[in-house]
């Protein structure tokens, strides 16, 4: 049973890593920079 939980966790982790790599490769640098600035700009707007 433990093996199935571990294998499931590894599959989910592999999916997330592939998703991040795919988004990183398909997006332009400007789009990635804009997405990275969202939390910083949100904190500045609240203050």
**Confidence band, pLDDT 50/70/90 cuts, at residue 46:** low
What's residue 45's pLDDT? 64
DSSP 8-state secondary structure symbol assigned to residue 38: H
pLDDT (0 to 100) of residue 22: 93
Q: How far, in Å, CA of 47 to CA of 43, rounded?
A: 6
Which burial class, exposed, middle or buried, applies to 33 when counting CB atoms under 10 A from its CB (0-12, 13-18, 19+)?
exposed
How far is 14 from 6, CA to CA, in rounded Å?
12
Q: pTM for the complete prediction?
A: 0.60
- For residue 24, give every residue at least 6 positions away whose Cβ sits within 8 Å of its Cβ, in sequence order, or none: 32
- Are 27 and 34 in contact by the 8 Å Cβ rule? The answer is no
Please write the tens of the pLDDT for every residue from 1-45: 999 999 999 999 999 999 999 988 998 889 888 888 888 887 776
């Amino acid at each position: 049973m433990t093996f199935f939980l571990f294998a499931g966790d590894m599959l989910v982790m592999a999916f997330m890593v592939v998703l991040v790599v795919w988004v990183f490769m398909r997006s332009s640098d400007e789009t990635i920079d804009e997405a990275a600035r969202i939390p910083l700009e949100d904190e500045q707007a609240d203050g």
